[in-house]
A and B are shown apart, each in its own frame.
Chain A
Amino acid sequence: MSTTPIQEHFYPDTKLSPDVLIRLHELMLRSRLLEERLIRMQKQGDGYFWIGGPGEEAFNVSLGLLVDKGRGPAHDYLHLHYRSSATMVAMGIDPADAMRQMKNTATDPYSGGRNFVNHYSIPEWNVVPVSSPIEVQFSMAPGTALVQKRFGGRGITIVQGGDAGTAEGDFASCLIWSTRPGMELPVLMIVTNNEFGISTPAAEQHGEKRIADRGKAFGMQTAVVDGNDPETAYAAIKQAMDYVRTERRPFLLEAKVSRLYGHSSSSGANFVTGDVDCLARFEKRLEERGILSRAKMDELRVQETQALLEMSKRVRVEPQPKGPTIYDHVFAPTEVGGEARARQDAMCAVGKTAEINNKEQS
């Protein structure tokens, strides 16, 4: 995959220090190995379904390193999708938590065993719940961005989806709501373009040459970047973020990425050839530049692999949620109308809890 030309004035400097490159590599490797471990877990019966983002590490790790992490409108809001695991790894999640969600344990901190793997939800970091329906996050992003526009400061809303999802009306909603005259919103819209919608090639579905060009009709700054190159991606994301942070206006960034294990476990989750492997390419470059030796990188790979394997063994024996907990968290506690809430709880529980308990006992 070749680097798509980008608007020159946005990326004057793509040079990163060796320390940052080494950090990028470490996180890309960890992200890749985590996804491969999750795939293995699913294939070994330690999970029902896998979907993730191996192939997007160069872009997503860069994004994660650049996020202003925290809670509330002063920090960045993240409306991510299920291919964003590398962003989360770069932000500092415990990889065991991703395994917990894969294994749908009660200890899964994102959904308590209720949702698919890589469906993150972390209020402390403004990571709003990832949704399985694609592109709905683009409808929600203007809401958090509107709060940030009023709040001021440098916090921005980052929303990310795939190329196929841009066919949904929610993508158009985000373009329209983010660019209303006088009400422009601090939204960084990201399209990771792997040129597939499940099994449908983009070439059959997209008339436009560059998805990013759709932003131009709304007067947005746009760019296309080689998302398989961490240095280019890092610089492009930083430039786009800086623009949104300071101008308080939206930016549409399209990143060309690979999809190395197909769409999901439904399509086999086997390594595909022919796509650029951003990690292998980056490792070759690091070796050529003398930043990391092959031996050092191999050693790191062995260490990380072993650590993830040990983690998965621990997660495997963690408890599953109990059936009656399906009635937990239907509604948040209400101060007004407390009596009515008690009746609702009673209504929900009629017969059901006893029935489930009986089933479990039998």
Chain B
Amino acid sequence: MATMVQAIRMALHVGEERLGVTDVFGQDLGPPLGGVFTQSQGIKCSWNSPLDERGIIGCAIGLALAGARPVCEIQFCDYVYNIIDLLKLGGGMYWSSNGQWNLPLVMMTPVGSGIHGSIYHSHSFDATATHIPGWKIVMPSNPRDAYGLMLSAIADPNPVMFLAPKALLRAKALPGEEIPGEPDERALSKMIDAPLGDRSKWTPSWPATPDLFIPIGKASTVRPGRDVTCVTYGRMVPLCKKAADELASDGVDVEVIDLRTLIPYDWEHLKESISRTGRVLFVNEDTEVTNFGEHLLRRTVEELFYQLLAPPRLLAGAFVPGVGLADALDTASVPQKTEISSVLRELAGHQP
């Protein structure tokens, strides 16, 4: 069972072997470390950049303009904020040039809380990211999706942000979340995890890596249900699914949808589910004011108002300047399972 970080690594390997990736670069992405989360270990075209976020995204844009196909990384999304204008520039390149220049690049960055990263290693980025037109934005919640979405991101001729929920990077795949044909956990680790200590003579032995493209823009129903629709993504997906599974024993049947792609998002999928259940909860961990879930909620009200049986709800992170280090502060900052369960139960019981 691959972890998400192993899945990303395998996808990058496919990228450089079969999809034309020329560069996997960023701070610490090259040897010997291969990424602070080990995501680029064994990738031949990986290299270490200066510690310069503007330079990283700028170089990626330049590479893409000249016909290369780069995957760059901002080490933590908290450090993306000083490159917002370059993201606007990259996202607008195709549009502002009236379709003359497209940018086939991927910017990956770990996002969200859950590893006790404190104030500058716990931010979410989805609300800000979705406010920068011209980028496609994907966010996997399990290893299989991480693999398939990364392949699609690499193959896409547009700039794509790959937001990796850092709390899930080392989580093992659950049944159904495997990459087809992958070896068992121990064998895979031996093949593609770099050893501790001297790595100068180490080379990975890659397992079979199928062409599993998960289409950008397609959501997935991770748990069907009839009473309430729960729309979420990233780290919140397993949490919402667990809450839904537990509620089932009380007779509350929750449908959980993993958005997987934030832009372009799969409105038809959401619309079908919300129209059927009449009740919806949007869950994510970015701060609640001007949250991406608010956009989905607005559209729900505007287009599905007369199909709703209860006021649509949003559960999101607290609108405070950071995620504190102490456990109680960390958990109070972002939605937790009990809160999710409680709102889902409330929604299920609401009568118009």
Contacts and interface: CB of A to CB of B under 8 A. Distances in A.
Nearest to B55: A173
A157 B93 CA distance: 19
B66 A330 contact: no
B266 A340 contact: yes
Given A121-B101, A123-B101, A131-B89, A340 B217 contact: yes
A165 interface: no
B50 A340 contact: no
B98 A329 contact: yes
B55 A331 contact: no
A225 interface: no
A340 B152 CA distance: 12
A139 interface: yes
Interface stretch (B6-14, B154-162, B183-191): B154-162
Interface stretch (B56-64, B169-177, B248-256, B323-331): B56-64
Contact of A143 (B50, B58, B218): B58
Contact of A146 (B62, B86, B99, B136): B62
B65 interface: yes
Interface string B1-33: 000000000000000000000010000000000
A336 B65 contact: no
Nearest to B133: A330
A173 B50 CA distance: 9
B85 A340 contact: no
Contacts, number: 171
Interface string A321-362: 000000011111111111111011001000000000000000
Interface string B42-80: 000000011010110111111111111010000000000
Interface string A57-97: 00000000000000011000101000000000000000000
Interface in B212-245: 213, 215-218
21 contacts: A72-B67, A128-B65, A133-B85, A139-B61, A139-B62, A140-B61, A140-B65, A142-B58, A143-B68, A173-B52, A176-B50, A177-B50, A328-B95, A331-B136, A332-B94, A332-B157, A337-B217, A338-B215, A339-B215, A343-B264, A344-B264
Interface string A293-336: 00000000000000000000000000000000000111111111
A327 B96 CA distance: 11
A69 to B, nearest CB: 16
Interface string A120-136: 01010000110101001
A173 B54 contact: yes
A129 B101 contact: yes
A336 B158 contact: no
Most chain A C-beta atoms within 10 Å of own C-beta, residue among B58, B216, B218, B267: B58
Contact of A337 (B65, B85, B97, B213): B213
B100 interface: yes
A340 B23 CA distance: 27
Contacts of B89: 131, 133, 136
A221 interface: no
B100 A121 contact: yes
Interface in B93-151: 93-102, 133-134, 136, 151
Given A128-B65, A341-B217, A347-B264, A111 B98 contact: yes
Interface residues of B, number: 53
Given A332-B158, A337-B156, A340-B217, A177 B68 contact: no
Contacts of A133: 85, 89
A337 B96 contact: no
A43 to B, nearest CB: 25
Nearest to B51: A176
Contacts of A141: 58, 62
B261 interface: yes
A147 B68 contact: yes
B265 interface: yes
B268 interface: yes
Nearest to B93: A129
B188 to A, nearest CB: 26
B294 to A, nearest CB: 17
Contacts of B54: 139, 169-170, 173
A329 B95 contact: yes
Contacts of A329: 94-95, 97-99
Contacts of A177: 49-50, 52, 55, 59
A139 B136 CA distance: 22
Nearest to A321: B98
Nearest to A142: B59
B304 to A, nearest CB: 13
A161 B49 CA distance: 24
Contacts of A115: 96
A157 B268 CA distance: 45
Given A336-B213, A344-B217, A114 B96 contact: yes
B158 A337 contact: no
A144 B215 contact: no
Nearest to A169: B54
B268 A110 contact: no
A177 B52 CA distance: 9
A138 B95 CA distance: 21
Given A136-B85, A177-B50, A337-B156, A347 B66 contact: no
Given A131-B89, A333-B157, A340 B94 contact: no
A176 B48 CA distance: 13
A336 B155 contact: yes
Nearest to A123: B100
Given A337-B217, A344-B217, A110 B156 contact: no
A79 B59 CA distance: 13
A123 B97 CA distance: 10
A336 B264 contact: no
A114 B95 contact: yes
B159 to A, nearest CB: 9
Most chain B C-beta atoms within 10 Å of own C-beta, residue among A110, A136, A141, A142: A136
A141 B66 CA distance: 10
A171 to B, nearest CB: 10
